[in-house]
Amino acid sequence: MNHLARLYWTAKGVGWDNLPRRLLQAFRVRSGLLRKRLSPERFSEEAFKAECTAAVAQQGELWAERAKRFFPPPPNENLQRVCGEEEWAERVKHICQKALDGEYLFFSKRFGQTGWPPDFNRDSVHDLQWEAGRHWLDGPDSLGGKADIKFVWEPSRFSLAYYFARAYARSGEERWAKAFWEMFDAWAEQNPPQLSVAWRCGQEMTFRLMAMLFGAFASLESPSTTNERLHALSRLAWQTGKHISININAACSQGNNHGISEAVGLWTVGLLFPEFKEAGKWRRRGRKILAAEVKRQIYDDGSYVQHSLNYHRVMMDDLLWACRLAQLNDEQLPPVIYDRFERATKWLVEMIDSISGRVPNYGANDGALVLPLSTCDYLDYRSVAQAAHYLLHRKRCFEPGPWDEKMLRLFGPESLDAPVQTQKRKSSFAAPNGGYYILRGPDSHAMTRCHSYRDRPGQCDMLHVDLWMGGVNVLRDAGSYMYNCEQPWQHYFPSTAAHNTVEIDGADQMVKGPRFLWFKWTESHLLRFETSDDGRVGFFEGEHYGYRRLPGRVVHRRSICRIDDTYIIIDDILGSGEHEIALRWRLCQADWREEGNTCRANIAGREITIAVHSPDQMSRQFITDQETLEPEGWESLYYGQKTQSPTVIATGLLSMPTSVITVVRLKDHNLAVKHFDPTRPESAILLTGHDYPELASEISRLSGGRMQFD
């Protein structure tokens, strides 16, 4: 790619509307203007006293008044109602005790040695110390190729404050409130204003302030909560608001959740701290930017600009916080925020598996959990959906469970008496603006993506399929692992090879650019998406053009025919010439048995089979129990951790056009492929199965005559 083409795709990658903001930010940094405005002296105690009308002695009274406009503390009996003692001890108290023993919880899953109080500038995973005392504009983005700044940002997000606050509220034990304030004191001492990497990102600062506020309000009655500490937290809130107000252009220039998060942070400080001279200005500006970013980032169908389930949750937690605080403060946010929030909530509910509470591990996943206010696992999305649905409708979308705790802590005891508004899910769901399509059977569902990118993509995953049966993610995404790590993992996880789709000639669907950018964005076209009237048959057909840049102008077309809980996935590779084809299916952990072209496993008490029907020139490989650190056969469910993932790979050098068929079914379903001609993608596929004669005509109709019963 020549220099001009690279410049074009870089500009397109950051977004044409964001380009002026990016250029302005570059000017502010290189000219020294940003450094001058963010100099430590402007954030000192003396500067704070000049901008705040309240004295130290007034802090207790001010915070008591503020507490009336914050989330109401629920009675202990309500907390016990949503979560039993055993689960509470394991999922909250244990984490708090581990922290006091010097082990901090990272990314809701792993523990790292940080000491107590924590060393907030130490990456314990990579055994690296980040320097404090130097302006963050002078500091490095990373410490060598293996270091990821997120491992030092994670403890500074202060998520542990939510655990201490919850433990103190439930037990009344003073040690948890004391621990919160010890942690706060340590962070403030280790991270002077603007003089550590903790000040590099306004979104991180917002998440940190949200956690600190939650912890402080929960422990207001504690002897550990002194006027001096409340004054220090008020000063940090002012420093956060001032920093964001100066540098929020950088967040908005990214066109992602940074803009939403920082707008929420600016608005929160302006709303809760009226004693700051600029509070009114910050509140108005934060509200204006929030409305603009929400309108820009949430598509009309409720899907999200970052093409990521985890970032969708980050956005929803941001909006939950903002909308609930608005209610408690009689503040009216612009209607567009509630409208888009409702669309985003509906979209997320469609994505959640109703048995496990999980969603496809789809898109970039940085381990963020902004409001960890339930004992549910990080992978369970019911708590955010339940709370959001209650905020919008005063009803619950899931039956009662431990996921109700977030709703309880944000809205109070009356939320636990809200009726459950569950609706039988339809046999299909389409979000065409984002290009998400779901087919549902009686005990299963499959999600695929068919989209022409108009906003920056994060991964090469077009026509990827996620398949769930009985609450188990049978066919799954490999995840994204880490944002900065050694090769081959740095490239592998976002690549086409890490997804359940077809790879051509070892190339990705798009061309990799610098850092998070991809060039030559994939374009796609939906050909068919329809379900029979009785819901027993559904059909999806779409194609993408990411490989048209290859000789022979290759096109990948994928069809998915769902018949009850059987899924027939047809991959047509169209074009000319010979090409190396690779089809991958990433499987859940189970006792898989390989028999010819079929893999079998007992999952959730039922046998599931996966059969790949491919041309003779293709060879099949089943990878399980990986012992080497080769990329194939690995997945990442939690940030920074990778585990083995059984994988079926069919590869071969084939003449185009050609076809490969995969059938996924329960053992008690007897439908199978009897015959097809892989060299003629337009030819009929003959099926067999004596349980389905009444569906033959409907299957033929929905597939455009492609699929016929023998």
Interval 360-376 mean pLDDT: 96
424 or 359, which is more confident: 359
- Reading the block at residue 510, the tokens are 């798009």
Interval 247-260 mean pLDDT: 93
3-class DSSP assignment, residue 535: coil
pLDDT exceeds 90 at position 650: yes
R_g (Cα) of the chain, nearest Å: 26
Write the CB contacts of 3 (distance below 8 Å, at least 6 apart in sequence): none
Give the model's pLDDT for residue 7: 80
Distance of alpha carbon 343 from alpha carbon 518, whole angstroms: 28
Give the model's pLDDT for residue 516: 83
Give the model's pLDDT for residue 21: 86
The CATH fold assigned to 428-673 is Beta-galactosidase; Chain A, domain 5 (2.70.98)
625 or 464, which is more confident: 464
3-state helix, strand, coil in the chain (%, to 5): 40, 20, 40
pLDDT exceeds 90 at position 403: yes
Compute the C-alpha angle 368/372/373, nearest 5°. 160
pLDDT exceeds 70 at position 235: yes
Give the model's pLDDT for residue 484: 85
- Reading the block at residue 348, the tokens are 């997320």
- Grade residue 462 by pLDDT with cuts at 50, 70 and 90: very high
Give the model's pLDDT for residue 19: 83
Strand order in the sheet with 593-595: 524-531, 537-544, 555-563, 566-574, 658-666, 606-613, 598-603, 593-595
- Grade residue 485 by pLDDT with cuts at 50, 70 and 90: confident
Going by C-alpha positions, the residue among 543, 577, 547 that lies closest to residue 654 is 577
Distance of alpha carbon 59 from alpha carbon 547, whole angstroms: 62
Chain segment 162-173, per-residue pLDDT in tens? 999 999 999 999
- Reading the block at residue 448, the tokens are 């695929």
3-class DSSP assignment, residue 111: strand
Interval 497-522 mean pLDDT: 94
- Grade residue 143 by pLDDT with cuts at 50, 70 and 90: low
Give the model's pLDDT for residue 508: 97
Ramachandran sector of residue 147 (left: φ over 0; alpha: ψ -120 to 50; beta: rest): beta
Residue linked to tokens 């409720």: 302
Is residue 350 within 8 Å of residue 429, measured between CB atoms? Answer: yes
User: What is the CATH architecture assignment of 15-417?
Assistant: Alpha/alpha barrel (1.50)
pLDDT exceeds 80 at position 12: no
pLDDT exceeds 80 at position 628: no
% of the chain surpassing 70 pLDDT: 98
- Grade residue 144 by pLDDT with cuts at 50, 70 and 90: low
Give the model's pLDDT for residue 626: 74
- Grade residue 301 by pLDDT with cuts at 50, 70 and 90: very high
pTM of the model as a whole: 0.96
Q: What is the mean pLDDT of the chain?
A: 94
Q: Could you tell me the residue ranges of all domains in the chain?
A: 15-417, 428-673
Q: Write a three-state SS string for 321-332.
A: HHHHHHHHCCCC
Going by C-alpha positions, the residue among 148, 238, 125 that lies closest to residue 197 is 148
Distance of alpha carbon 467 from alpha carbon 447, whole angstroms: 7
Is residue 240 within 8 Å of residue 265, measured between CB atoms? Answer: yes
Residue linked to tokens 């621990």: 179
Same fold, 15-417 and 428-673: no
Interval 396-404 mean pLDDT: 96
pLDDT exceeds 80 at position 14: no
pLDDT exceeds 60 at position 663: yes
Give the model's pLDDT for residue 258: 96
What are φ and ψ of residue 437, in 5° steps?
-135, 135
Interval 285-290 mean pLDDT: 98
pLDDT exceeds 70 at position 141: no
% of the chain surpassing 90 pLDDT: 82
Interval 691-697 mean pLDDT: 82
Distance of alpha carbon 206 from alpha carbon 614, whole angstroms: 52
Residue 629: count of CB within 10 angstroms of its CB: 10
- Grade residue 681 by pLDDT with cuts at 50, 70 and 90: confident
Give the model's pLDDT for residue 413: 95
pLDDT exceeds 90 at position 190: yes
Interval 636-642 mean pLDDT: 95
- Grade residue 145 by pLDDT with cuts at 50, 70 and 90: low
For residue 248, the surrounding DSSP H or E stretch is: helix 227-252
Give the model's pLDDT for residue 625: 79
- Grade residue 146 by pLDDT with cuts at 50, 70 and 90: low
- Grade residue 689 by pLDDT with cuts at 50, 70 and 90: confident
Residue 414: count of CB within 10 angstroms of its CB: 12
